[in-house]
Each structure stands twice: as C-alpha cells, then as structure tokens.
C-alpha cells in the first residue's frame, strides 16, 4: 500500500532545501533590493561576515553583514536589474563561503573556485 503524504508536507520545501534569495524590484524595475543571508551553520564561530562581489569590486569589507540573534548573518543591498551578479561571503576577513541558496554557481579562473550568482 502506497503511503499518502499529508497536505502540510506537500507545502513545505524538502529538508535541506532553502527558498530562493529574496529580491524585490524597484518601482521602475531598474534595480532590485536583494537580501543576502548566511545561516549560522555555514559559519558557526564567525564574528564578522561581508558580501564581496562583482557589484562592489570584490571588496572584502565594503558591505558588512549584520548578525541576528539566531547567529545568522544578513544584509540588504540594491543591485542593478538585468544582470547576473557574482558574489561570495567573506567570513572573518579570511574564509570565503558561497551562498547556500544562490540561483546558480559559476567557475572563476581567477579565484580557482565557484562563485555564487544571483540573476536579476
């Protein structure tokens, strides 16, 4: 006999699957307000996290994130629409981490790793 899922189970994302990155378009559609988020589990002992990417010249300190009471880090930024923006998180100024809920990942020959990407 095949077991039926409960309705409430069907509405929940699969375990370990995160919702897409939050993005809200501006009134004229030229920009998006993007919420970057790094869960505590990705950097449990971190004291600082910043977002570095193609939109800020890969600066390791220009966009510091705020640590929430939960231990997660987040930051809202406005980014240009109609582009794919590459980024990574810089943990404690030394360790690089990708977003767990990026739209996709692309290889960087310069850094010899994959970068997170958000497509707007």
Domain membership flag for residue 50: yes
* Domain region containing 99: 23-119
C-alpha span between 26 and 41 (Å, rounded): 32
Residue 9 within any structural domain of the chain: no
Give the separation between CA 54 and CA 56, rounded to whole angstroms.
6
pLDDT above 50 for 10: no
Residue pair 35/66 in contact (Cβ under 8 Å)? The answer is no
In a domain, 31, yes or no: yes
Is 8 part of any domain? no
CA 48 to chain centre: 16
Where residue 92 sits, what CATH number does that domain have? 2.60.40.10
Is it the case that residue 4 has pLDDT exceeding 50? no
Count of domains observed in the chain: 1
Q: What is the pLDDT of residues 35-58, one digit of tens each?
A: 999 999 999 999 999 999 999 999
Does residue 11 lie in a domain region?
no
| pLDDT value for 54 | 96
């Amino acid at each position: 006999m095949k077991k039926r899922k409960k309705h409430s189970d069907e509405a929940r994302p699969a375990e370990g699957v995160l919702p897409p990155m939050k993005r809200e378009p501006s009134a004229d559609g030229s920009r998006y307000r993007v919420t970057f988020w790094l869960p505590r589990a990705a950097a449990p002992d971190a004291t600082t996290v910043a977002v570095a990417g193609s939109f800020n010249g890969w600066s390791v300190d220009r966009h510091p994130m705020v640590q929430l009471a939960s231990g997660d880090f987040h930051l809202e930024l406005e980014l240009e629409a109609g582009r794919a923006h590459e980024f990574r998180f810089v943990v404690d100024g030394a360790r690089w981490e990708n977003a767990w809920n990026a739209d996709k990942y692309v290889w960087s020959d310069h850094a010899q790793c994959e970068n997170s990407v958000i497509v707007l």
